[in-house]
Amino acid sequence: MVYITGDIHGSLETIYDLFDKHSPAKDDIVVILGDVGVNYTGTLQDIGIKRAMNRFGSTFFCIHGNHENRPQNIASYKEKEWNGGRVLYEEDFPNILFPIDGDIFTLEGKRCIVIGGAYSVDKFYRLSRGMKWWPDEQPSPVIKEYLEQQLADNTVDIVFSHTCPAKYIPTECFISCIDQSKVDNSTEQWLDTIEDKINYEAWYLGHWHTDKRIDRMHFLFHGIEVLE
């Protein structure tokens, strides 16, 4: 089975809850929709979280978020083929997989495309306090071109992304102290054009720290869903 949940930011509480309620087997897959938090500090803290996740046994399929370094930037990650697409993984933690943006994976018979990344509204707060931030957090022009070509050449059933198309932005989730006129919504605006081009069954995303559903758009934070 494939279980889906939202951002965990290095906290395993949601994962413990998932395993307590559903008892995923070793061959089951847990999709985390970005901001996993295992490549954030670059210290032993990250390794401790990875070791804990590794002990669960199931495969973690981790979409790239905006509060983590891309595995492509970390020397310990290697690439391999998995379920029709490419993933990055570390030999010490083989069940934690980061899919390549734009690749299409077959999960439970569904063709699933991955679209990671988003803008960090707390970017300047983090920079001013010496906290981690990565300039490649959003999809690059190269990633966008690749993904658009993938969708031109293939049909997909499911979309896994970190953020949502602009038309679905949940304004009730805006942080009151953030000037929204200074927020870069270019990724969400681009996703609007992507959504207009494809006929999908369901679209799952995290980022907004809310659990709700709008039509076929599934927002997940602490919520857990099963891919039907």
| 203: β partners | 159, 217
* Domain boundaries, given as residue ranges, for the chain: 2-226
User: What are the pLDDT digits (tens) for 104-130?
Assistant: 999 999 999 999 999 999 999 999 999
pLDDT tens-digit map of 143-161: 999 999 999 999 999 999 9
Strands 93-99 and 85-90, sheet pairing = antiparallel
Neighbours of 49 (CB within 10 A): 23
Q: Is the pTM of this model over 0.85?
A: yes
CB-based contact 71:98 (threshold 8 Å):
yes
Which residues, at least 6 apart from 9, have a Cβ–Cβ distance to it below 8 Å?
35, 36, 37, 67
Radius of gyration of the chain measured on its C-alpha atoms = 16
**Quick one: how many helices (H) and strands (E) in the chain?**
5, 13
Q: CATH code for 2-226?
A: 3.60.21.10
Q: Whole-angstrom Cα distance, residue 11 to residue 81?
A: 28
Per-residue pLDDT, 30:
98
